[in-house]
Chain A
Amino acid sequence: DAGVIQSPRHEVTEMGQEVTLRCKPISGHNSLFWYRQTMMRGLELLIYFNNNVPIDDSGMPEDRFSAKMPNASFSTLKIQPSEPRDSAVYFCASSSQGGGYNEQFFGPGTRLTVL
């Protein structure tokens, strides 16, 4: 198995631009998580899906952030418009069981820099 796949690995954009991050979970996993990691705030859960349905989006910082999971093998996290404070590493993770009951496998992350 290739593990969780994320793209792009690095993204540099200018303030105000739209950013789309992509994730392919491990085949057969039915839970998908989006995290943001910064030095100041650590590892924050933004949103998670069970069986493609958003379960908890309480971590999404504001309306500029949105996430979708149109099918079991693909999810996107979109930021529109982006701001410098959105600069962080964004991780996608997947798990074979819902919620927090099993190991979560993290992707390599997308390092986002907003100028």
Chain B
Amino acid sequence: GENVEQHPSTLSVQEGDSAVIKCTYSDSASNYFPWYKQELGKRPQLIIDIRSNVGEKKDQRIAVTLNKTAKHFSLHITETQPEDSAVYFCAANTDKLIFGTGTRLQVFP
């Protein structure tokens, strides 16, 4: 079955710097790759997603890139702000979503 690995598990950056989180997946049939943000004590919420017919997608300060050949995709956050501090989960689909183990991002003022 599908296996999703996510790195790093924790990431600390200074406000204004960029943050990159990487995920790999195993099932070449996967075609949907969402990213969820979970703030402390809150529910996971979708922040951006990409489908396999697209290599890159951007929404303001966040972007996701997908390399289907290498089976990896990444989340890029530019000009980080303290409110970006949260746990971020990647996921890949089969007939269901398989989530990565999460990355705890801390942005220091």
Contacts and interface: CB of A to CB of B under 8 A. Distances in A.
A42 B97 CA distance: 14
B46 interface: yes
How many B residues are at the interface, by size bracket? 20 to 34
A102 B44 CA distance: 15
Contacts, number: 50
Contacts of A108: 42-43
Contacts of B98: 45, 100
A106 B89 contact: no
Interface in B50-97: 89, 91-97
Interface of B: 31-32, 34, 42-46, 49, 89, 91-99, 101-102
16 contacts: A42-B99, A45-B96, A45-B98, A48-B96, A91-B43, A98-B95, A99-B96, A100-B92, A100-B98, A101-B31, A101-B32, A103-B34, A103-B49, A104-B97, A105-B46, A108-B42
